[in-house]
Amino acid sequence: MSSTAPLTVAVLGPGGVGGLIAGLLARDGHRVVCLAGEETAAAIARDGLQVRSAQFGEFTARVEAATELREPVDAVFVTVKETALAASLDRLPAQTLGTAIVVPLLNGLDHMALLRERYPAARVTAGTIRIEATRTAPGRIEHTSPFAAIELAAPVEEFAERLRHTGLDVALCEDETAMLWSKLSFLAPFALLTTRHASGVGTVRTEHRPELIAALDEITAVTRAVGAPADAQTLLALFDHIPGTTKSSMQRDVEAGRPTELDAIGGAVLRAADAHGVAVPTLARLVSELSAPDL
């Protein structure tokens, strides 16, 4: 990867997260190919990506769009929902992808093994992102948070520097397990509790505080069992300091009648707990209750 030549980057799933990344890369002079369904791809090819961002301003980025990757690229961002991952990978043939860097920005853990099995020649690099961004229509992106922070678990400094040049906040982490569980140890209790009680985090941390504390104790035990650092009091402090109206994406999916990432988030924790012999009665109950057909 040349440090000066523009990159060719594919974005699988140009929604809120993927659309913003694609727009920033294109605005910075890189060639971007958005991979999506026919309607979305046609809209993006016709109108470009129209971004409204609290951090980056308003701009329209011209990108290419297709329903399937048809030539090798330097890197791919996988930014679909976990529930749509398996079906969407048909848009990314392994023989075309080759040795590209593949960065999944998904919730959960199981996607890493799936992608590495599907793309053995590629450099699948674990990633997380901290952002609030939404697709309001095909190719229309609303970025409402004053931050867009990516963490990558691999020594990809040159690639990271190219991303930083777009305005993204990019950090590198040597420990993939620690990075992924750092996110999941907060996300799982947050998603499960806000969704179960159909409320913002403020209600969870006041009206359901004993349940929150029990869930944090359990997720801390699982996180430590898999070999990653965790501290229940640190997690509780995070819950106590975020705005009380904050909702999880899982909760928003339930409200909108969309499939949820319950298995990718809660299921991943339960599987790890079972593998390491850690009892998680509160988390298991929440997953069970959220699995009920009337929720």
Partnered with residue 135 across adjacent β-strands are: 141
Q: Which residue segment(s) compose the domain that 36 sits in?
A: 8-174
Higher pLDDT, 270 or 131: 270
Residue with tokens 């140890």: 185
> Is residue 84 in some structural domain?
yes
Number of domains in the chain: 2
pLDDT, residue 295, reads 53
Residue type at 93? P
State whether 140 and 231 are in the same domain.
no
Collect contacts of 1-4 with beta carbons under 8 A, ≥24 apart.
Answer: 1/74, 1/158, 1/159, 3/158, 3/161, 3/162
pLDDT, residue 74, reads 97
State whether 62 and 165 are in the same domain.
yes
Largest pairwise CA distance in the chain: 55
Q: Once rounded to an integer, what is the mean pLDDT over residues 173-191?
A: 96
Q: Is the pLDDT of residue 180 over 70?
A: yes
Instruction: Give 240-253 pLDDT, tens digit per residue.
Output: 999 899 989 899 89
> Is residue 1 in some structural domain?
no
Residues 6+ apart with CB under 8 A from 188: 215, 219, 265, 266, 268, 269, 283
Report the percentage of the chain scoring pLDDT > 70: 98
- Measure Cα distances from 59 to 32, 33, 43 in Å: 16, 18, 16
pLDDT band, residue 292 (cuts 50/70/90)? confident
Q: Interior CA angle at 188 toward 55 and 159, to 5°?
A: 45
Instruction: Give 60-107 pLDDT, tens digit per residue.
Output: 999 999 999 999 999 999 999 999 999 999 999 999 999 999 999 999
